[in-house]
Homo-oligomer: A and B are copies of this chain.
């Protein structure tokens, strides 16, 4: 047998089995498990004893969930694979926040898989036995959004994209990005390079021209690019001359590769703005490989302010966003609920955290 097949040997034991043997009703047996003080303690003990003797596995959770209409689990959906989600520091901070809220409310977490087979990932969301969803940063055209809309469960969207009826928690990405660019402009930088994570859900890696930027299906990415562009425009600099390198995953290695491409251009940018700290740390590496001093020769600014940012060499200037807080709030929103037809929308603040990876532009 494989482990998921039914136990071959033992006959199935249900509440009814026990009820029959003791000449009581199914309901009474059910109460013995679920409502201890609705029946005589002696009888209850008898029932529990017999249950153990017969190897009764306890009330079937699926049946219970069906009847009660409540599962005790919160679903969490990430844009990328689970393997990746439990690796990415930003995703983990969010997850931790959600866990704080769910654990306080005695709720379990259900994490959606993103198998190689796309259909399976969609089916998983359709079949999730949960009481609500927290959805993290999906692309606008992610097919799972459709399913979520159909299921019409309580849902909290974190970061993006808006979903009718769902609550929303996010930051002002455009303002955050703008603050990053303004910081660099104030330091005298004029030649920039940008490292982004995906602009669309299509596995592309490489330079992102204006057309691709305009066609982005990931709202966050659009907003951040717009924020950078806002700042440059305000300083009278043309955005269309700024090289943008898109990466597939939010990882140090991706950032290093993308930054390498930027640094090998001529003229070389004097400042690199990255969509995340991991990508920025990759940029630091690319600079180190080329013998560039940070911040004397090159300034690098990240986004998020994950713990590793402060530990980087040099410590990373970045735009802090409250990831843990976002998770906590998302979880609590879901658990507390909201007035019908008035899903709340929250925008949390970002802060520019200036450390040692940015400095005056080289002459």
Contact = CB atoms under 8 A, between A and B. Distances in A.
Q: Which of A61, A83, A129, A132 has the most CB of B within 10 A?
A: A129
A110 B109 CA distance: 6
Contacts of A345: none
Contact of A103 (B70, B73, B113, B150): B113
A103 B115 CA distance: 5
Contacts of A64: 127
A143 interface: no
Closest 8 CB pairs between A and B?
A2-B337, A3-B337, A3-B154, A62-B66, A82-B99, A106-B120, A62-B65, A109-B111
Interface of A: 1-9, 52, 55-66, 69-73, 81-83, 85-87, 92, 95-96, 99-100, 102-117, 120, 123-124, 126-129, 131-132, 147, 150-154, 334-340
Contact of A336 (B3, B65, B81, B116): B3
Contacts of A4: 70, 131-132, 154, 335, 337
Contacts of A128: 61, 108
Contacts of A152: 7, 55, 57
Given A106-B117, A108-B111, A99 B73 contact: no
Nearest to A117: B106
10 contacts: A3-B132, A4-B70, A4-B337, A52-B150, A56-B150, A72-B124, A85-B99, A99-B113, A105-B115, A106-B113
Q: Which of A5, A7, A103 has the most CB of B within 10 A?
A: A103
